[in-house]
Structure 1
Amino acid sequence: MVRFFDPDETANANWAYLISQGLLPYRDFFYYYTPLFHWLFAPFFLLPEGPYLIIIFRIIAWSIYVALMYTLYKIVYTISQDRLTALLSCFIFIVFPMTFDKVIEIRPDILMTSLFFIGVYALYTAKKVQSQQFFISGLCIAVSCLVFMKMIFAFPALLYLLLWNFSIKHASVWIQKQIVPFCFGFFIPFVLFMLYLYSHSILYLALDDIVRGSIITNMSSGIYFSLLDALRPWPIVYLSKGGITLPWIVQIGIWIFGFLGIPIVILRNRRFGLFIVLFVLFAILFLFIFRRPFVQYFIPLSIIVSVSGAYMLVWCFRFFHHMCMEKLTPLFFIKATIFYIPPITLISLLLTSYFMQYRERAVPTNGEQLEVLRLVHEHIPKNETVVDLAGSYLYRTSGFLYHVASYATYIDVFDPKAETLTQSLERNQTKYVVLDQKAYIFWTPKPDDIQFIFTHYLPSPWFKIYTPGVKFVCNRGSCIQYNLHNQPAFDYPSDSFSLHIKGNYIFTTEPKGQIVRFNGIQMADGEEKEFLPASYRLTLFSPVRSFILQFSK
């Protein structure tokens, strides 16, 4: 609960806020998902505003994670009839280094995965004539897809489970008792969602954003997917530092044990084993569609690897137990080394790896974000727009339609041409921008946009919040405009500047008590006046060393 909030978490929470305020996805803000996940959180915004809400959302995400653990246990226990294998599957998934962070973040992936495997459990355990269970399975899987479309890769494996009981002799019963209830449950959520879109006249916009928007945002990144990149020693432990670490080594061990365990699952339970084979094959193929190997894409696959890895470990344990019945010979010790020491070592390493990562995450790192939250609620009116380039969660409407961290990689691809961030700031008269130098590793703004913000916004009295304004440093009547980093914005002196946001501006000088004219309008130090968007020429009447003209609340 104290770990830094990922920009995806803040984006998901902000989309839920926008929906709670009556804004429609696809029409009022750029959105290439389906809104089921965000509908889940939207009612919480009826509560008083405050930083505590995002903590509640993390608790909800953790609760969904616990539900997934229980579902995983039930599935593995059902197929193996072995409590040790079921518990070990959950244990491996809990400590899985690759997805350690992502499973408890505010993102739709974990809810999507939970609903899908609930549907798989209902389908696997359904008797041939239990129509209601097939209906529940179809319903859960459909809702899973509507939460997030990324589970479509598992449909071939799902179809295999559905066809398992098919026989020509009983085809009519199979269709009536299994296929029809499953399809009925599957199509109900999609029909209801289409009716929702149609009733709000956003059906075309939704289909365009979900299909075309998803393709554009994915394919325009210029980065091609690589399994080697996905499995490289990325910063598993230290979020800002990579390199080979124990958790990375443990992760590679889990993948190896997981793939070695697939044949064992097939031998023990052919139906579920072949389901795993299809699931893994299509999951890997699906990953190649995405040019960026984001870790959360591996959550469904890591569950399957945890199951097959548990089968492999249990098989090794029991093989050694069987060998214990033999006499103590040199061959016995060789076998023990091969089959006993590796799994025991891996489990010890799993625990060590888990506590290494937990120790880092237990250090509070979201205090600055929570402070920005508090300041936003206290000082920014609800009717104002905000642009957040820091990943600090905001309960405000964005001043930019395409408010996504990677917007610069795809915004120029849209036809008709999309509005730039600079144009949005001017059109919406956005008075508040949240910035954080560290956040540039997440955001990829266009150079012109970030230059505009640096030049036309200045630090406000509130932490990480910037407001419109200009600063000039003068020497013997010659002035140079400075940016928000207190560095020259241009390499040459200037006696003019432009304001783009209407509002009251306060004028301050160094030394105190100086006077400057803007387009003939005289302003004294400490004076406040209304300015309109326009170009202004300044005239100095006294030895001013510097002055600031900044938006006043």
Structure 2
Amino acid sequence: MKRIVEYILISGSLVLLGIFLWWHYQLGQTRYFDVDEFAHLSWTYQMLSGRKPYLDFLFFFPPGFHVFLSPLFVLGGGVTPILAGRMMAFIVFVLLVGATMLLFWLMRRSWVAILAGVFLSFLPLPFDKFLEIRPDSLATLFAMGGMVFQILGMQDLALKGLTFLGKKVNPYQFLAGFFYALSLLILPKVLPQVGVAVAVEVLRWFMQKRKTPALLHLVFGLSAPLFLFGLWALTLGNLDQVIYSLTNLPVEANKISQTFIMLPDLFFYPNTIFYGQSGWSTGLLVNHAIWIIAIFVAAYRLVAPFLTGSKETAWSELLIAATFFTHVFFYVQIVPLKHTQYLIPIAVFVAFYAADAVDMLWRKTRDALNGVFLTMFFLGSVGLWRVFVAVNSPKLIWTNTDTIKQLTAIFESIPTSEYILDLTGQTIYYRHPYKACCIPFGQAAPFLTRPLPSLSTALENSQTKYVFEGGLKRTNTLLPQDQAYISVHY
């Protein structure tokens, strides 16, 4: 009977996961585009066109995500790379769901690992950001891959038959470092997670009576991709500008947060865009309940191994819980502009610990009360599905159809040999008359220690005929003198 109940629970969980993922796919193909998506596609195309990032155009990301996007432009021109980018975002999300489930399986060896994927697919916040073409999900995926390998290394599972100089080899710590480094080269926002990973390994090394080379392997894995990136940066010809672009420039640009204040609880209040309904809706309440439960379970898991003296999983539990709370701390206290994409790595751990709460309940009821648990599971699954549909059904009418039509018309009517001052990145294929594009650079300009060149001079020298501001009316974000120039000449 117990085995039959478990099969039913597994089947039900897989069905629910499949439904949620289908909705992710469907919405990802039709939902309106966030302006950041076009910026990343535009920067990618500029690199493919031979322009040097950091030098030829304003750029403050490592190039990892844009290398990842490059194959999209092999598929064709026009809007094809844009739609394919959404498909790629869906594939990345499915892999992230898989990584979350794998992490749970490594820690708990339970069918409830499927529910970790279910919760991640369900969470209204930050559901929409998983649909978009942005580096956050991919960086989190590689960081979670690093965590999985690090925990495998902690479990000291040598690969069968793999030897070096006659000794069994455990490659997991090297692979952990390698994946962590790749995540940094996609998006430096994962640095807190990498920092926790290294700190835990350092602590573990100090506590070991018989020292192992795990820490050294982790550092080697981290160093290899970063060293190659450093060599590539040298080939650009201006290392100082590269370093400035990746360090000081983001800090300076984010000083606009002094004007546009975003509190950490901003998106946890009623919001029809995220929760599908106005007021304190069921979607909002269930989202908050999952987050709160996850925080309490994470706090318990952080201290439980040390209270019970369980050394077997103590370091793994410390790694996961400390990473979760570090991400939360950085979001609340450090991150200046608290956009919802910053919640992506936090959401992964919310899903993990929400599933952990279910697993605790399952372990207490599976012997004598599995029928009760099965009933609760059925009711909970139906309830979760109904809330999910209520949250996401309104989003089906918020489509990208008008944007696709507009861009298709532009691509068909304006030769790509023309210059366009593109303030959003949507025109992608056209020549750029100015060093900066695709972002509201006028808002950040007063804070930059390396000032941007004259916009009016650049437009005159290139004889630019077109300015694309998009639906956001981005010309309003330019410096006053630039707004005045454009209003007169365009």
Assess same fold via TM > 0.5.
yes
Q: More deviation in 299-308 or 245-254?
A: 245-254
Distance 1:199 1:391, change over 3 A: closer
CA distance in 2, matches of 1:376, 1:317: 57
Instruction: Provide the residue aligned with 2:165 in structure 1.
Output: none
CA distance in 1, matches of 2:280, 2:129: 20
Shift of 1:249: 1.8
SS of aligned partner of 1:387: strand
Q: Is the CA contact (8 Å cut-off) linking 2:101 and 2:114 kept in structure 1?
A: yes
Is residue 2:109 matched to residue 1:65?
no
Per-residue deviation, residues 398-436 of structure 1 (Å, max 9, x unmatched): 333222433232112223432354444333322122244
Q: In structure 1, which of residues 96, 100, 111 is the aligned counterpart of residue 127 of structure 2?
A: 100
Q: In structure 1, which of residues 162, 175, 194 is the aligned counterpart of residue 201 of structure 2?
A: 162
Paired letter, 1:285 = F
Instruction: Provide the residue aligned with 2:402 in structure 1.
Output: 368
Q: Is the CA contact (8 Å cut-off) linking 1:265 and 1:308 kept in structure 2?
A: no
CA distance in 2, matches of 1:325, 1:106: 42
Shift of 1:309: 1.0
Instruction: Provide the residue aligned with 1:407 in structure 2.
Output: 441
Shift of 1:113: 0.5
Q: In structure 2, which of residues 168, 191, 207 is the aligned counterpart of residue 152 of structure 1?
A: 191
Give the 5 Å matches for 1:313-332.
Answer: 313-319=358-364, 324=369
Instruction: Provide the residue aligned with 1:444 in structure 2.
Output: 477
Per-residue deviation, residues 163-215 of structure 1 (Å, max 9, x unmatched): 475355422xx12xx23322222111111111111112132111011111110
Per-residue deviation, residues 419-471 of structure 1 (Å, max 9, x unmatched): 354444333322122244x42489733444344434432xxxxxxxxxxxxxx
Is residue 2:336 matched to residue 1:291?
yes
SS of aligned partner of 1:24: coil
Shift of 1:116: 0.8
Distance 1:235 1:426, change over 3 A: farther
Shift of 1:321: 5.8
Distance 1:242 1:294, change over 3 A: farther
Instruction: Provide the residue aligned with 2:11 in structure 1.
Output: none
Instruction: Provide the residue aligned with 1:227 in structure 2.
Output: 264
Is residue 2:481 matched to residue 1:456?
no
Per-residue deviation, residues 85-124 of structure 1 (Å, max 9, x unmatched): x111110001111111111211111110011111111111
SS of aligned partner of 1:257: helix
CA distance in 1, matches of 2:57, 2:379: 51
SS of aligned partner of 1:198: helix
Give the 5 Å matches for 1:19-418.
Answer: 19-84=47-112, 86-126=113-153, 127=156, 130-163=169-202, 166=205, 167-171=207-211, 174-175=212-213, 178-222=214-258, 223-237=260-274, 243-266=279-302, 267=304, 269-287=313-331, 288-319=333-364, 324=369, 347-363=381-397, 365-389=399-423, 392-418=426-452
Shift of 1:19: 0.5
Distance 1:440 1:347, change over 3 A: farther
SS of aligned partner of 1:398: coil
CA distance in 2, matches of 1:306, 1:416: 42
Distance 1:214 1:325, change over 3 A: closer
Structure in which a larger fraction of residues adopt strand:
1
Q: Is the CA contact (8 Å cut-off) linking 1:136 and 1:182 kept in structure 2?
A: yes
Distance 1:325 1:188, change over 3 A: closer
Shift of 1:259: 1.1
Q: Which segments of 5 or more consecutive residues in structure 2 lack a partner in the other structure?
A: 1-28, 158-167, 306-312
SS of aligned partner of 2:421: strand
SS of aligned partner of 1:397: coil
Among all aligned residue pairs of Structure 1 and Structure 2, give the percentage whose two residues are the same amino acid: 23
CA distance in 2, matches of 1:290, 1:345: 39
CA distance in 1, matches of 2:475, 2:327: 26
CA distance in 2, matches of 1:302, 1:47: 32
Structure in which a larger fraction of residues adopt helix:
2
Paired letter, 2:268 = L
Q: Which segments of 5 or more consecutive residues in structure 1 lack a partner in the other structure?
A: 327-335, 458-553
Distance 1:179 1:281, change over 3 A: same
SS of aligned partner of 1:433: strand
Paired letter, 1:406 = P
Paired letter, 1:41 = L
Q: Is the CA contact (8 Å cut-off) linking 2:45 and 2:70 kept in structure 1?
A: yes
CA distance in 1, matches of 2:454, 2:279: 37
SS of aligned partner of 1:193: helix
Shift of 1:131: 3.6
Q: RMSD value over aligned CA atoms?
A: 3.0
Paired letter, 2:210 = H
SS of aligned partner of 1:409: helix
Distance 1:416 1:160, change over 3 A: closer
Distance 1:67 1:14, change over 3 A: same
Q: Is the CA contact (8 Å cut-off) linking 1:225 and 1:290 kept in structure 2?
A: no
CA distance in 2, matches of 1:74, 1:276: 13
CA distance in 1, matches of 2:387, 2:239: 47
Distance 1:272 1:404, change over 3 A: same
CA distance in 2, matches of 1:391, 1:354: 32
Q: Is the CA contact (8 Å cut-off) linking 2:422 and 2:468 kept in structure 1?
A: yes
Paired letter, 2:44 = A
TM-score calculated relative to the size of structure 1: 0.72
CA distance in 1, matches of 2:438, 2:85: 20
CA distance in 1, matches of 2:275, 2:294: 25
Q: Is the CA contact (8 Å cut-off) linking 1:116 and 1:141 kept in structure 2?
A: yes
Q: Is the CA contact (8 Å cut-off) linking 2:475 and 2:483 kept in structure 1?
A: no
SS of aligned partner of 1:371: helix
Q: Is the CA contact (8 Å cut-off) linking 2:253 and 2:448 kept in structure 1?
A: no
CA distance in 2, matches of 1:67, 1:325: 31
When the two structures are aligned, how many residues end up with a matched partner? 439
CA distance in 2, matches of 1:278, 1:238: 29
Q: More deviation in 306-315 or 268-277?
A: 268-277
Is residue 2:48 matched to residue 1:14?
no
CA distance in 2, matches of 1:443, 1:96: 35
Q: Is the CA contact (8 Å cut-off) linking 2:180 and 2:194 kept in structure 1?
A: no
Shift of 1:242: 6.2
TM-score calculated relative to the size of structure 2: 0.81
Distance 1:443 1:311, change over 3 A: farther
Return the structure number with greater relative CO, CA threshold 8 A, min gap 6: 2
SS of aligned partner of 2:420: strand
Structure ID, larger Rg = 1
